[in-house]
Structure 1
Amino acid sequence: MCKVFDLGDIVEMKKTHPCGSKEWKIIRMGADIKIKCCICDRIVMIERNKFEKDMKKVVKKSETDENN
C-alpha cells in the first residue's frame, strides 16, 4: 500500500512531537523525507519507508496541487 503525499503537504504522524504537535510539513522528498514541525519549526529527516509507516494521513494538500 503506497500512501499519496507530495512536497508542501501537511501530514499527521502517529507519534506526538515533544512540543505537542502531530502535524508536519514535507519540505524535501527523495530516498529520505525531510519534515518540519508545524508548531516549533524543528526539522527532522527520516527514511522514506519509516515515514510511510508512521504517517497517518494528509491533513492539508499543498497550495500548488490545489491550483493545478
Structure 2
Amino acid sequence: MDINVGDVVRLKKKHPCGSFQWEIYRTGMDIGIKCLGCGRKVMIPRIKAERSIREFVKRAETEKDENSGNNEHSN
C-alpha cells in the first residue's frame, strides 16, 4: 500500500474524541498519524496501519505527481 506524508485516511475504528479521520505525518516501519478531531499524535506499526485504513479521504501531492505533467522538453 502506498502511504505518503500528508495523506488523510479514514480508519475502521473511531478515536475516543469521535473522529475517524487521521493525517499521516511520518512514514517508515511505523506510521505516524495525527487525529484531525483533537490533534493527538500516535505511532502505529505499518502492518497494523495498512489493515486499519478503510479509505483515503485525501491523497497528498508528491513530487512524482507534480512532475508527471511536465512531459514537454525545452530544446
TM-score of the superposed pair, with normalisation by structure 1: 0.87
- Which runs of no fewer than 5 residues in structure 2 stay unpaired? 67-75
Is the CA contact 1:5–1:58 (under 8 Å) kept in the aligned structure 2? Answer: no
Name the count of aligned residue pairs: 65
Structure possessing the higher radius of gyration over alpha carbons: 2
- Percent identity, aligned pairs only, is 45
Structure 1 distance, partners of 2:40, 2:52, is: 17
What aligned pairs does 1:1-68 form with structure 2 within 5 A after superposition?
Answer: 3-62=1-60, 64-65=61-62, 68=66
The alignment partner of 1:58 has SS state of strand
Q: Which runs of 4+ in 1 moved over 6 A?
A: none
Structure scoring higher RCO (CA < 8 A, sep ≥ 6) equals 1
Instruction: Structure 1: state its 5+ residue gaps.
Output: none
